[in-house]
């Protein structure tokens, strides 16, 4: 496994996903989804979780309805999941190999976060990992009409940083986010190659 994460010399702006990229929240999100879905007779596997990673809260429930032929109330199930996540989010650790890049480049180049998470929890997560004051541009689920794999999240980040999309480098852990970065014409790094993923183990 590669251990040195570097920035492409051509990059003029950096964009980071949050969950599973800067913050090791994925195991906490997974357990919360697993428990919420279990109440409705759904076996929420790690594979399914990884497939849906990057989709905002309520659209995830809509997707589960499609996959399993259910008629769950997206707000009810989503809120149930989010309450459990919030109860346990104090356990969040930073993913140091990635957060190290943010700390090292703070004040040196424009940086943004592009996430499918809700702003309130995004800010709370950044507080837990000590990055609240490091990144000015944050694009959350409330800020876009089209979520990943659509490139809107990352294109908005580039626009707000004032950087051309081709000059942006995206750091992502989810397949949908990687697709979104490629569609936006950006350089992209799959950060899961740089650290051990232990969801559901």
- By annotation, the residues acting in catalysis are 17
| d(C-alpha 158, C-alpha 14), whole Å | 9
């Amino acid at each position: 496994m590669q251990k040195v994460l570097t920035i492409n010399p051509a990059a003029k702006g950096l964009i980071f996903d949050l969950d599973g990229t800067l913050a090791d929240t994925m195991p906490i999100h997974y357990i919360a989804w697993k428990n919420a879905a279990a109440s409705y007779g759904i076996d929420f596997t790690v594979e399914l979780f990884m497939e849906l990673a990057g989709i905002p809260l309520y659209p995830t429930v809509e997707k589960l309805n499609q996959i399993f032929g259910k008629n769950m109330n997206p707000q009810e199930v989503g809120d149930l999941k989010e309450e459990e996540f919030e109860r346990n989010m104090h356990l969040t650790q930073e993913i140091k190999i990635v957060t190290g890049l943010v700390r090292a480049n703070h004040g040196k180049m424009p940086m943004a976060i592009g996430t499918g998470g809700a702003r309130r929890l995004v800010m709370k997560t950044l507080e837990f990992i000590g990055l609240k004051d490091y990144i000015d541009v944050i694009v959350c689920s409330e800020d876009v009409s089209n979520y990943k794999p659509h490139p809107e999240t990352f294109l908005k980040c580039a626009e707000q940083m004032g950087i051309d999309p081709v000059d942006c480098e995206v750091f992502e852990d989810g397949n949908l986010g990687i697709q979104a970065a490629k569609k936006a014409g950006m350089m992209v790094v799959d950060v899961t190659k740089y650290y051990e993923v232990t969801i559901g183990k």
